[in-house]
Amino acid sequence: MKRFIIIIIVILIPGVVFAAKPCERATVVKVSDGDTVKVVCNGDKLTIRLIGIDTPETHRPNTPVQCYGREASQYLKQRLEGKRIRLKYDVERMDKYGRTLAYVYRGGTFINAEMIKKGYAFAYRRYYHKYKDKFIGYEEKAKRKGRGLWGACKIKCNGSICHTSSYTSEVSRSPKGK
């Protein structure tokens, strides 16, 4: 009986290892918002949450659409929808909502970083990721230059998390650095 179980394990383990191989190239079929996209990879549909960034809310229940959320979503849609992308991973592969966590590249552009540099996203400080310090530096530069949400919205930060006001709130000045 022990031999039978060992043989079954030896046969099944390679299948599990190959099935768990992460997606490296995918096609974006939908941009959900400024930090989440839906992709097809090898026939499988995945929801990808861009690691290390946080964009203003556009779809959270009981939360008004936040300042610059639509712009962030629209920018990501223009850059990625219908396009082939490369995905790279960090230590954590899934978030608590079952989304795949990934760094997204299109051509030679690191999309996660670009979203912060252009002021469409905040650097996400809550969890470790290998680009955390770089992303914070990109955010500080975007803030100094008044790019995107930094020039268009009232922003409140509570510890490591920042949010923009809702669109019903007054905006501080027109956006820069688009």
Encoding tokens for residue 89? 């991973």
Per-residue confidence (pLDDT) for residue 161, from 0 to 100: 84
Q: Which of 3-12, 43-52, 88-97, 148-157 has the lowest mean pLDDT?
A: 3-12
Question: 112, 63 in Cβ contact below 8 A?
Answer: no
Q: Which residues pair with 146 in a beta bridge?
A: none
**Mean pLDDT of all residues in the chain?**
87
Per-residue confidence (pLDDT) for residue 107, from 0 to 100: 96
Domain extents for the chain?
24-164
Residue 11 has pLDDT above 70, yes or no: no
Question: 119, 175 in Cβ contact below 8 A?
Answer: yes
Which of 3, 24, 25, 57 is catalytic? The answer is 57
CA-CA-CA-CA torsion sign (172, 165, 65, 51) = positive
- The CATH code that applies to domain 24-164 is 2.40.50.90
With CA atoms as reference, report the closest residue to 57 among 169, 176, 164, 178: 164
Tell me the per-residue pLDDT of 129-150, one tens digit each, with 9 for 90 and over.
999 999 999 999 999 999 999 9
Per-residue confidence (pLDDT) for residue 177, from 0 to 100: 46
Catalytic residue at 99?
A: yes
Which of 71, 79, 99, 114 is catalytic? The answer is 99
Per-residue confidence (pLDDT) for residue 16, from 0 to 100: 42
Identity at 18, one-letter amino acid code: F
Per-residue confidence (pLDDT) for residue 165, from 0 to 100: 86
Encoding tokens for residue 115? 């979203």
User: How far lies 145's CA from each of 38, 39, 61, 73, in Å?
Assistant: 32, 33, 32, 21
